[in-house]
Structure 1
Amino acid sequence: MARRVFVSFRYSDGHWYKERLERLFDSSTEIINCSEDVNRSGQSDFTIQNYLYSKLRSTSVTIVLLTPNALSHRKDYFGGYDDWMYDEIRYSLEDRENNRCNGLIAVYTPEAANMVVKPSSDLTTILDFDNLVRANMLNIKPSYKKNPKPGIYDSNYDSYCSCISWANFINNYAYYIDIAAQKREVAYKYDLVKRLQTVNPYSSLFR
């Protein structure tokens, strides 16, 4: 059965990558792409929520393109998250009417690689960055951890959100999408983070 996916990306530096994925998916009988390019940033939160729910309703996996401009979520004056991609990711992680939360994949582009991971001879360290996908990496509950070594995580199954390089993903995208769909079926094994905590940088001014 074909997997239906939604692609979240930052238009300013991710549009080329999104179009490349669309061409790959259009040539595949295994993947159905349900995303689009419409700019709805001027719409109300309620309208955006309903729109995203309608787009995500029929999908099972959300693919997030991590480009340099997409790594850190945008915030408003008061420190709250005001970012279209943040909304797409958090709605993907919500249990929706007639459809539970999506599987999640973060695909980092070559330009963002040194901001996302630090490879060594035998291990890859995932760096910290202010993004909801990062909060859902390395979050397997201890009793379900696949790699038995303390502090070492299986790259495919010990994070709800897989973190995959662009080159690896486009060479075997159906494989990674299938793994994300499998983890969706056992989401209870993970400590899912569905919203990031915000801190108002100006709160001390009102004390």
Structure 2
Amino acid sequence: MARKTFISYKYSEARLLRDKIVESLDDDVKYYRGETSISPNLSDQSTSYIKNRLKDMIYSTSVTIVIISPNMKQSNWIDWEIEYSLKQVKRGDRRSGVNGVLGVVMKYNGGYEWLRPESNRADGHTTVQTNNQFLYEIIHKNRFNETHPTYICPDCKTVDPWSGSYISLVNEEAFLANPNYYIENAYSKSQNLLKYSLFRKKTI
């Protein structure tokens, strides 16, 4: 089943990937509620006007896709958009649900090592580390946050990458090849909130 989605991204470096993600949705693009290449430029509008526009876009969605790019933390909006996505907002008689949130890691300099370097362990396992300095606190505190973790490797305490974190990270190539799988995974976690210790507040 298609989900209504919103994409949070830093315009100056991730707009081309945003366009690829929108294109990858195919027929489900009609459920997309965020900006596109033909959206009006809001940069000259007031902060309150932009926030209200963003609230209107996010309110009716159920999944927020965050493009993880090298300079995303310079954005004035991404962490706020994630915080709003994790709220239940009441409008009239209706209350929004908590969005599923998914991080799509942008390829940079030919790969993903800038954020997720791999290393080989002595036991033969390959591990992927995450350079949290590139991530907002509201992202990395919602990773590996299952209330009762289930380990796919009990010896090395490795959690499932798709169920062990409320905000999972997927490389852009994998996402573009099968967007519905990852969107549905994010949505399914939003329907099981008690499984996670959610961190909902951006750092001021």
Scaled by the length of structure 1, the TM-score of the pair is: 0.80
Instruction: Find the counterpart in structure 1 of residue 178 from structure 2.
Output: 172
Among residues 98, 101, 106, which one is paired with 1:104 in the alignment? 101
Aligned residue for 1:56? 58
> By how many angstroms is 1:48 displaced?
3.7
Contact 2:20 2:176 in 1 (8 A): no
Percent identity of equivalent pairs: 27
Q: How many residues align?
A: 186
8 Å contact from structure 2 (residues 83, 201) kept in 1? yes
CA RMSD of aligned residues (A): 2.2
1:6-17 alignment runs, 5 A limit: 6-17=6-17
SS in 1 for 2:114: helix
Partner of 2:199: 193
CA displacement at 1:157 relative to structure 2: 0.3
The aligned amino acid for 1:179 is N
Q: 2:88 aligns to what?
A: 95
4+ runs deviating over 3 angstroms: 37-49
Query: Against the structure 1 CA distance between its residues 159 and 38, is the aligned structure 2 distance closer, same or farther, given a 3 Å change threshold?
Result: farther
Pick closer, same or farther for the CA change 1:43–1:135 going to 2, 3 Å.
Answer: farther
TM-score, normalisation: structure 2: 0.81
Flag structure 1 segments of 5+ consecutive residues without an equivalent.
75-82, 199-207
Report SS of the residue matched to 1:87: helix
Measured in 1, the distance between the counterparts of 2:85 and 2:28 equals 23
Cα distance, 1:44 vs structure 2: 4.8
Q: What corresponds to 1:204 in structure 2?
A: none
